[in-house]
Structure 1
Amino acid sequence: MLPAKAILQPDCESQEEASAPGTPPVRGDGFLRTTDDPRKRSVTWSSNFEKNLQKSCEEVQRPQLAPPAPSSPSFAEGAISNPSKPSGETKFFWDMTYHAFECAKAGCEVRCSMWDSQSVICPFCGPYSYVKYCGKEHMREDARAHWLICGQLTMQEPCVENSIPPDVLIGPPAIPCKHGWDRPERHRQALWFSTAQDAGDYFIFADQGDCTGSQTESIIRDGSCSHHVVQVVHFDDPEMKDRFRRILAVCLLESLEVQPLVEYLFRMLRDRLQSLQQWSSEMDMKVRQQMALELAIELEPRDIGLRHACEAEWRGLPFRHCRDPICVSERAYLLGSPCWTRRFECLVSDEEANYWILRANRTTHPTVKGVYARTRGEGFDHVLAEEQRLFRRGEAWDGLGKGSWEWVGGRC
């Protein structure tokens, strides 16, 4: 994906006619003129554009309009932005109030502006990236193809301070894999987790349905990473919703270290679908296959068992507090086994105290709603005093020259 060409100021009778200072352009204004169909807009170029197009990017001149002022107190307080002015007047730089990018999905020619209220960024690539989509639908459809280059298209030029909308810049970034490996299936689930929290809490895709014949036998090894959703798992109870999403976030971050927690996550999914009478042997196989691809953990029926997601396991209560007959019948096998790991709540809380990215992505927190507040540890126990702050999110999220991603306490 190549950076978009600069959209220069159109010919207008006056500067005021083009746009009032501090006002971001929107579709249909003096900068992005549209046809009757707002998604197939054409751009009215200035009379000097053809000449500028022949020059190198370094020769493009900055339009003399003020960028919009930040409107969010939290943005003014915590956002990290680029230098407001480049070192040389002739050096190319980005101004998101004027520059637009072609949708990253192959075949889509819609030009995406950061201020059009419809275009979106990849939550892994960040706002300081050449990757933009005309909407969430194209972003999700492109998940598998984009996964190959995700995170590799960070802008190499400076960007005008405050020219990115505050609500976009706040984030949070999507949850990466702490171990450095990734699969398109893990990328896909983390993408939906980050961008579709209002639609559901876990998404089951049509991977096996996309394969036929001999391809079905190799689904666990190869997968198909379809963007078609066949089942949405949604928790209605706020407490259970918060619990499930916290567990899923930890598993997306470090599944290799928390295999018993992955099994508990599966049992929560099974319990929820059973309560809706949507569970079957086919669904059981499908979910285990998908989670094996997403989290690199093979879920064996012997380890998962038939018991429910036990409250005693979550809260760390003595096992006799659970009177469920299936749970009681499996207890003899599980005693002394690493599969019988209790105090999952404590494990999840400890990981949230350790990793700011988990705190930032806990959008279901019962009391703390601000991303920056959660990042600093407000509403979380045992966060170290020196880590009750904002962290570097890498140049893709903080801008050119702001440093690499910071995991914990200065460790990148």
Structure 2
Amino acid sequence: MIDFELSPELTTLRDRVETFIASKVVPMENDPRQTPHGPAEELRLELVNLARAEGLLSPHAPVAYGGLGLNHREMAVIFEAAGWSTLGPLALNIQAGDEGNVNLLNQIATPSQKERWLAPLARGEVRSVFSMTETVTDGAGADASRLNTIARQESDDFIINGQKYMITGVPGAAFNIVMARTLDSRGEDLGASMFVLDIDCPGFSVTRMLDTIDANSPGGHAVVRFDDVRVSADRLLGNLGQGFRNAQVRLGPARLTHCMRWLGAAKRCHAVAAAHASVRHSFGKTIGEHQGVSFMLADNEIDMHLARLSIWHTAWLLDKGEQARDETSIAKVYCSEALGRVVDRSLQILGAIGITRDTVVERIYRDIRPFRIYDGPSEVHRHVLGRRILGRHTQV
């Protein structure tokens, strides 16, 4: 049975995070160092230093590398608290995709690779990139098996060629974890593999920065190219040909941590809307006293409550060591849609104020919409879940 009671230690940590976010991070939300392509690196480092001084940095990372070593259920509580501010995850060094890359490196990297890349990433000293998605017309997206980026073996090295689309955080990052289809020297397909590249390696380039509706990721989103990028064998992450399997090590838990952070953001929007509904008058009473608004507030509470239950249940399974493939898909679909509804209702309750930058709701509204697309669109997760359901119920 799932234990929903928080330990005294976790309660204290949550309270410390909430105080830190409210007192130190929220006042920086209008910092001019935020750009259409995300917060500037100078701002990120300033936020990270604030969290480090409070002993709150990298709650997800192993203690051996400077983190707090929390399990998934503990992360659910702390990530939600951090998500209250648009800059909260950045301050605690739990922003996607650095957070996912910390988990990936911790799970499959060699000891020397961990010292080289995981340690500075966990300390918040550098940022990283994960490159898997390819062009919108022909290449890997939700269907990762369509990888067109090729890593051809040449003696002890690999030569990478290809193009990737919607790659987050390249400008200002230190290294790049790249998924590529691996061929031996004879052209035989060995399967997908992962490689770690320095961001300034010869042959790697940004061909275009993408203008998107969200602006919460440092470095924004880009189209990138690999032109005869040479990497040595020690840059292979995990076993050769095991890229798809290793990707699930990262993607499953990362879908859940997205839910945790966005629950905090939705909770913030709901609080703003509820406060406004209690003081804004219309037709002789506060708008919160009208059923049309009070019902929306009630629906917000319902959606957030069920989202939290879904997160906690899936986190509990992951902490037990279960793969929880269906559960992570269910949580990702439900939370992305339910929390999107919470933010949408909150904006509606605010009325004209909601579409301005007078509150944080407008910003979160833009940032949360892509949640239904990245890490697998809702439709893809439903399709996969549907196939599994049919596989379990072929006979009655």
The answer to whether the superposition gives a TM-score over 0.5 is no
TM-score for the superposition, normalised by structure 1: 0.25
Question: Which has the greater radius of gyration?
Answer: 1
Name the one with the larger helix percent: 2
Name the one with the larger strand percent: 2
